[in-house]
Structure 1
Amino acid sequence: MVTPLDALPKIGVPATRALAGAGYDSLRKLAGVPQAELASLHGMGPKALRLIEQGLEEHGLALG
Protein backbone atom coordinates (compact mmCIF):
# COMPACT_ATOMS: atom_id res chain seq x y z
CA MET A 1 0.00 0.00 0.00
CA VAL A 2 1.43 3.36 -1.00
CA THR A 3 1.24 6.15 1.57
CA PRO A 4 0.11 9.45 0.04
CA LEU A 5 2.64 12.27 0.38
CA ASP A 6 -0.06 14.52 1.87
CA ALA A 7 -0.66 12.14 4.81
CA LEU A 8 1.44 10.57 7.52
CA PRO A 9 1.92 6.80 7.56
CA LYS A 10 -0.08 4.76 10.09
CA ILE A 11 2.13 5.18 13.16
CA GLY A 12 1.20 5.25 16.83
CA VAL A 13 -0.62 8.12 18.48
CA PRO A 14 2.40 9.32 20.52
CA ALA A 15 4.57 9.50 17.39
CA THR A 16 1.82 11.22 15.39
CA ARG A 17 1.40 13.76 18.18
CA ALA A 18 5.17 14.34 18.32
CA LEU A 19 5.32 14.99 14.59
CA ALA A 20 2.32 17.34 14.70
CA GLY A 21 3.87 19.24 17.60
CA ALA A 22 7.05 19.71 15.56
CA GLY A 23 5.08 20.94 12.53
CA TYR A 24 5.26 17.78 10.43
CA ASP A 25 1.73 17.07 9.24
CA SER A 26 2.52 15.22 6.02
CA LEU A 27 5.00 12.70 4.70
CA ARG A 28 6.17 15.30 2.17
CA LYS A 29 7.42 17.58 4.98
CA LEU A 30 9.54 14.76 6.41
CA ALA A 31 11.65 14.31 3.26
CA GLY A 32 15.22 15.37 4.01
CA VAL A 33 14.68 15.82 7.76
CA PRO A 34 17.60 14.28 9.70
CA GLN A 35 16.66 10.97 11.29
CA ALA A 36 18.34 12.07 14.54
CA GLU A 37 16.02 15.09 14.70
CA LEU A 38 12.93 12.89 14.47
CA ALA A 39 14.36 10.32 16.89
CA SER A 40 14.81 13.06 19.49
CA LEU A 41 11.07 13.86 19.53
CA HIS A 42 9.29 12.57 22.63
CA GLY A 43 7.03 9.71 21.54
CA MET A 44 8.99 8.82 18.40
CA GLY A 45 10.25 5.24 18.53
CA PRO A 46 12.19 2.94 16.21
CA LYS A 47 9.05 1.39 14.69
CA ALA A 48 7.58 4.79 13.80
CA LEU A 49 10.89 5.86 12.24
CA ARG A 50 11.00 2.67 10.20
CA LEU A 51 7.44 3.20 8.94
CA ILE A 52 8.21 6.81 8.01
CA GLU A 53 11.33 5.70 6.12
CA GLN A 54 9.33 3.03 4.29
CA GLY A 55 6.65 5.55 3.35
CA LEU A 56 9.25 7.95 1.99
CA GLU A 57 11.00 5.16 0.05
CA GLU A 58 7.71 4.36 -1.71
CA HIS A 59 8.02 7.81 -3.33
CA GLY A 60 11.77 7.74 -3.95
CA LEU A 61 12.44 10.04 -0.99
CA ALA A 62 14.40 9.63 2.23
CA LEU A 63 15.18 11.19 5.56
CA GLY A 64 18.28 13.39 5.71
Structure 2
Amino acid sequence: MTTEKKKQLRTCLKGHQYYKSSDCPTCPICEADRKPTTGFLSLISAPARRALERKEISSLKQLSEYTEIEISSLHGIGPKVISILKEALIENNLHFKTN
Protein backbone atom coordinates (compact mmCIF):
# COMPACT_ATOMS: atom_id res chain seq x y z
CA MET A 1 0.00 0.00 0.00
CA THR A 2 1.40 3.41 -0.95
CA THR A 3 0.78 6.44 1.16
CA GLU A 4 0.95 9.37 -1.23
CA LYS A 5 0.35 12.76 0.26
CA LYS A 6 -2.30 14.75 -1.49
CA LYS A 7 -1.23 18.11 -2.86
CA GLN A 8 -2.83 21.00 -1.07
CA LEU A 9 -3.50 24.45 -2.47
CA ARG A 10 -1.57 27.02 -0.45
CA THR A 11 -1.20 30.77 -0.52
CA CYS A 12 2.02 32.46 0.60
CA LEU A 13 2.25 35.80 2.39
CA LYS A 14 2.74 37.56 -0.96
CA GLY A 15 -0.48 36.04 -2.31
CA HIS A 16 1.01 33.43 -4.65
CA GLN A 17 -1.06 30.28 -4.91
CA TYR A 18 0.67 26.94 -5.39
CA TYR A 19 0.14 23.24 -4.72
CA LYS A 20 2.43 21.30 -2.42
CA SER A 21 2.28 17.85 -0.84
CA SER A 22 5.14 18.28 1.63
CA ASP A 23 5.11 20.18 4.90
CA CYS A 24 7.74 22.59 3.58
CA PRO A 25 6.32 26.13 3.85
CA THR A 26 8.52 27.57 1.07
CA CYS A 27 6.62 29.15 -1.80
CA PRO A 28 8.17 27.95 -5.08
CA ILE A 29 7.22 31.20 -6.84
CA CYS A 30 8.89 33.38 -4.20
CA GLU A 31 11.91 31.06 -4.20
CA ALA A 32 12.28 31.34 -7.98
CA ASP A 33 11.99 35.13 -7.75
CA ARG A 34 14.81 35.37 -5.22
CA LYS A 35 17.19 32.95 -6.94
CA PRO A 36 20.42 34.73 -7.82
CA THR A 37 21.21 35.03 -11.52
CA THR A 38 25.00 35.17 -11.06
CA GLY A 39 27.60 33.77 -8.72
CA PHE A 40 28.00 30.35 -7.18
CA LEU A 41 24.66 30.48 -5.37
CA SER A 42 22.91 30.62 -8.75
CA LEU A 43 24.39 27.21 -9.61
CA ILE A 44 22.87 25.22 -6.74
CA SER A 45 19.40 24.10 -5.70
CA ALA A 46 17.14 26.20 -3.48
CA PRO A 47 17.46 23.89 -0.42
CA ALA A 48 21.26 24.01 -0.70
CA ARG A 49 21.22 27.78 -1.16
CA ARG A 50 19.00 28.23 1.91
CA ALA A 51 21.33 25.99 3.95
CA LEU A 52 24.30 28.19 3.08
CA GLU A 53 22.29 31.36 3.71
CA ARG A 54 21.36 30.06 7.19
CA LYS A 55 25.11 29.79 7.89
CA GLU A 56 25.49 33.33 6.46
CA ILE A 57 27.67 32.07 3.60
CA SER A 58 27.21 34.37 0.63
CA SER A 59 30.68 34.37 -0.91
CA LEU A 60 33.23 31.79 -1.96
CA LYS A 61 35.71 33.31 0.50
CA GLN A 62 33.25 32.62 3.34
CA LEU A 63 32.64 29.11 1.97
CA SER A 64 36.39 28.41 2.01
CA GLU A 65 36.39 28.93 5.79
CA TYR A 66 34.48 25.63 6.22
CA THR A 67 35.56 22.05 5.69
CA GLU A 68 33.88 19.92 3.07
CA ILE A 69 32.51 17.72 5.87
CA GLU A 70 30.94 20.73 7.63
CA ILE A 71 29.20 21.85 4.44
CA SER A 72 28.18 18.27 3.52
CA SER A 73 26.44 17.91 6.87
CA LEU A 74 24.00 20.74 6.10
CA HIS A 75 20.46 19.79 5.12
CA GLY A 76 20.06 20.14 1.35
CA ILE A 77 23.75 19.69 0.53
CA GLY A 78 24.49 16.47 -1.31
CA PRO A 79 27.30 15.12 -3.48
CA LYS A 80 26.16 17.02 -6.58
CA VAL A 81 26.15 20.36 -4.75
CA ILE A 82 29.56 19.61 -3.19
CA SER A 83 31.02 18.99 -6.65
CA ILE A 84 29.56 22.29 -7.92
CA LEU A 85 30.94 24.15 -4.90
CA LYS A 86 34.39 22.54 -5.27
CA GLU A 87 34.52 23.54 -8.92
CA ALA A 88 33.51 27.13 -8.10
CA LEU A 89 36.16 27.30 -5.37
CA ILE A 90 38.88 25.93 -7.68
CA GLU A 91 37.95 28.40 -10.44
CA ASN A 92 38.57 31.17 -7.91
CA ASN A 93 41.83 29.72 -6.52
CA LEU A 94 40.15 28.69 -3.28
CA HIS A 95 39.36 25.38 -1.58
CA PHE A 96 37.52 23.99 1.39
CA LYS A 97 39.36 24.37 4.69
CA THR A 98 41.38 21.31 5.65
CA ASN A 99 41.22 19.77 9.12
Normalised to the residue count of structure 1, the TM-score between the two structures is 0.81
Percent of matched pairs sharing the same residue? 34
Q: Does residue 8 in structure 1 map to residue 40 in structure 2?
A: yes
Question: Residue 51 of structure 1 corresponds to which residue in structure 2?
Answer: 84
Larger Rg: 2
1:48: how far off? 0.6
Runs of 4+ residues deviating >4 angstroms: none
Tell me which protein shows more helix as a share of its residues. Answer: 1
Please, which runs of 5 or more residues in structure 2 have no aligned partner? 1-38
Q: Quote the RMSD (CA, aligned, Å).
A: 1.2
**Greater relative CO (CA pairs within 8 A, separation 6+):** 1
Tell me which protein shows more strand as a share of its residues. Answer: 2
User: 2:76 and 2:67 mapped to 1: Cα distance?
Assistant: 17
User: 2:54 and 2:40 mapped to 1: Cα distance?
Assistant: 14
Residue correspondences, number: 58
Q: Does residue 21 in structure 1 map to residue 45 in structure 2?
A: no
Q: Which AA in structure 1 matches 2:46?
A: V
